């Protein structure tokens, strides 16, 4: 945990250095990938996740862009046993984990700060609107459909670094520093389920790697 905290503090501190600009009027288009593995309470229970986020943005001012990301995330929890009531069969069923898929739209604002030639720090703020669907996992690893569908919204703040080999494109590394998400079940039988989560980088360090093109 101390190492993760030092990484977070170092990235944020470096970001307050000055100068150089990405010019107003440029369009940015790109794609980022992120992945993570989190132990859940015991070594036997683990949550694996993968996300892909294409984006497009426009620089409304020097170093400041506004845009939209399109989010797809898939995660799978293995090793957790629990019982639940299946409304399709009107009976108690057992699950050994779940698979979750998220689809969403995420408007963003991003600001770049120059560190040195071809190397920049940036901070990005996102609003997120998404739909989540769940499948349960039986003791053989088989995924079977259930009626768990949730709609939600949230916000996040992500710092990162961008390396520009040329003025036409860049490579970036970022991570979510803090995020908030509110979701509620859309199925009639699950209206009672409503969750609000606040997540810090120390809770689940999931770096994202991306490539952007400037035109």
Torsion of CA 118, 6, 53, 121, to 10 degrees: -20
pLDDT of residue 181: 81
More confident residue, 168 or 96: 168
* pLDDT tens by residue, 169-204: 999 999 888 888 887 765 544 444 555 566 665 556
Distance between CA atoms of 189 and 13, rounded to whole angstroms?
Answer: 48
**Residue 88 above 70 pLDDT?**
no
pTM > 0.85 = no
Predicted confidence at residue 14, as pLDDT, reads: 41
For residue 177, give both structure tokens: 């520093």
Q: What is the pLDDT of residue 7?
A: 47
Tokens of 163: 């390396």
Structural domains in the chain, CATH included, are: 2-214 (2.40.160.20)
| pLDDT value of position 133 | 79
Question: What tens digit of pLDDT does each residue of 6-29 get?
Answer: 444 444 444 443 344 688 999 999
pLDDT digits (tens, 9 = 90+) for 31-75: 999 887 765 555 456 677 889 999 999 999 999 999 999 999 888
- Sorting pLDDT into bands at 50, 70 and 90, what band is 206? confident
Instruction: Give me the residue label for tokens 């600009």.
Output: 21
- The beta strand positions in 167-185, using DSSP E, are 169-174, 178-185
pLDDT at 65 (0 to 100): 96
- On average, the pLDDT of the chain sits at 76
């Amino acid at each position: 945990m101390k190492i993760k905290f030092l990484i977070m503090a170092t990235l944020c501190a470096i970001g307050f250095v000055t100068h150089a600009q990405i010019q107003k009027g440029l369009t940015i288009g790109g794609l980022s990938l992120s992945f993570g593995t989190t132990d859940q309470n015991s070594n036997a229970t683990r949550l694996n996740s993968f996300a892909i986020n294409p984006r497009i943005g426009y620089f409304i001012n020097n170093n400041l862009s506004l845009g939209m990301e399109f989010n797809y995330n898939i995660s799978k929890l293995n090793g957790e046993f629990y019982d639940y009531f299946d409304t399709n069969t009107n009976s108690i069923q057992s699950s050994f984990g779940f698979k979750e898929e998220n689809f969403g739209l995420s408007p963003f604002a991003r600001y770049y700060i120059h560190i040195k030639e071809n190397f920049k720090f940036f901070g990005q703020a996102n609003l997120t609107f998404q739909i989540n669907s769940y499948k349960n996992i039986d003791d053989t690893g088989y995924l079977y459909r259930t009626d768990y569908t949730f709609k939600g919204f949230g916000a996040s703040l992500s710092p990162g670094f961008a390396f520009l080999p040329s003025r036409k494109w860049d490579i970036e590394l970022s991570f979510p520093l803090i995020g908030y998400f509110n979701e509620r079940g859309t199925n009639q039988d699950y209206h009672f389920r409503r969750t609000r989560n606040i997540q810090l980088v120390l809770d689940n360090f999931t770096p994202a790697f991306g490539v952007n093109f400037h035109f």
